[in-house]
Amino acid sequence: MKQARLTVAMFKDPKFILLGILIGFTVIFSILSPSFFQVENFYNMFKQSAMIIITASGATLLMMTGNFDLSTGSNLAFASMLYTLLATHGVPMFLSAIAGLLCGVCFGIINGTLIVRYNLPPFIATLGMMYVGRGLTLIACDGKSIRTNIPEHFDFLAHGTVFGVPLAVLFIIAFAVIFWFVQTRTLLGKYALAIGGNKNAAFFSGINAGAVIFWLYIIVGILAAFSGLMTASRIGAGDPRSGESFFFDVIVAILLGGTSLKGGKGTVAGTLLGALVVTVLGNGLDMVNVLPFWQQVLKGVILVLAVLMNEKLFSRDHKKVLVPRAVTTT
């Protein structure tokens, strides 16, 4: 009986469901396209998923507080463009990378200040920064890609290996483990969960919710900027159109992973699986020649389904918490 309950609980776990979906997509696309199940394609998918996982790992903690960031794609594009511009004008790549990461810090500070200090809704603040960032990116390069005077080893960040292991794989493992540890073993992770669960209760328990949210926006800004450096390295150029759907992929990955838009619930492990599902789906649809606009339709449907699934699970869990309390008070 106990084993049966554990089995039922396992099948209701979003992470188990995602793992099944991931395996299912892999099998289906392998049948539809023989070139899908090849080492080279899996290597390409690792590089594609690395950017999503890096940013989504930190953004999971942010969404656990009930906040989100729509400006990650513009942040990525601007950091990518600045990194490329400086590198192609003779600035050492290390300093160019630092400048790109500082852009991410600025995005985080502005978003955090608007939301925490001036009480703007996250949707308005980060949507505004999304357009500001995209506009600045287009201004910086006059709307054109930068593909000349690219320095040697510019592509190492995305295509390099360490002892034969692709850097993209090492980044996925490192960031997933770091933010899993932060979420499950540190005060920051516990505070994020508490703030999303009940902000007033968190305040009365001594948690500085504003400071936690502010710093999480900075962390997400840095992670998105780092993803921008990887993007420039992967395509070997600065492209002002980079990251146009990046924020969408990040949010879908987080929601698929079981994090609630309302906050108070979520795991980095679930986000990791969600990011892999998003990557495999996008890559597989490309491999079977599904037109891009149909891919957008499908992604939109997946986003709605992910939100509906989260709301249903959130309501079910909320009822489980409330029912025992009602019983004890009667």
Confidence at residue 148, expressed as pLDDT on a 0 to 100 scale: 76
Q: What CATH number does the domain located at 36-328 have? A: 1.10.3470
Confidence at residue 6, expressed as pLDDT on a 0 to 100 scale: 52
pTM recorded for the entire structure: 0.91
Confidence at residue 15, expressed as pLDDT on a 0 to 100 scale: 81
Is the pLDDT at 328 greater than 50? The verdict is no
pLDDT (tens digit per residue) in 161-211: 998 899 999 999 999 999 999 999 999 999 999 999 999 999 999 999 999
pLDDT (tens digit per residue) in 247-259: 999 999 999 999 9
Is the pLDDT at 4 greater than 60? The verdict is no
Cα 88 to Cα 265: distance, rounded to the nearest angstrom: 44
Confidence at residue 313, expressed as pLDDT on a 0 to 100 scale: 66
Q: Provide the pLDDT confidence category of residue 149 given band limits of 50, 70 and 90.
A: confident
Percentage above 90 pLDDT, the chain: 69
pLDDT (tens digit per residue) in 215-226: 999 999 999 999
Domain residue spans of the chain: 36-328
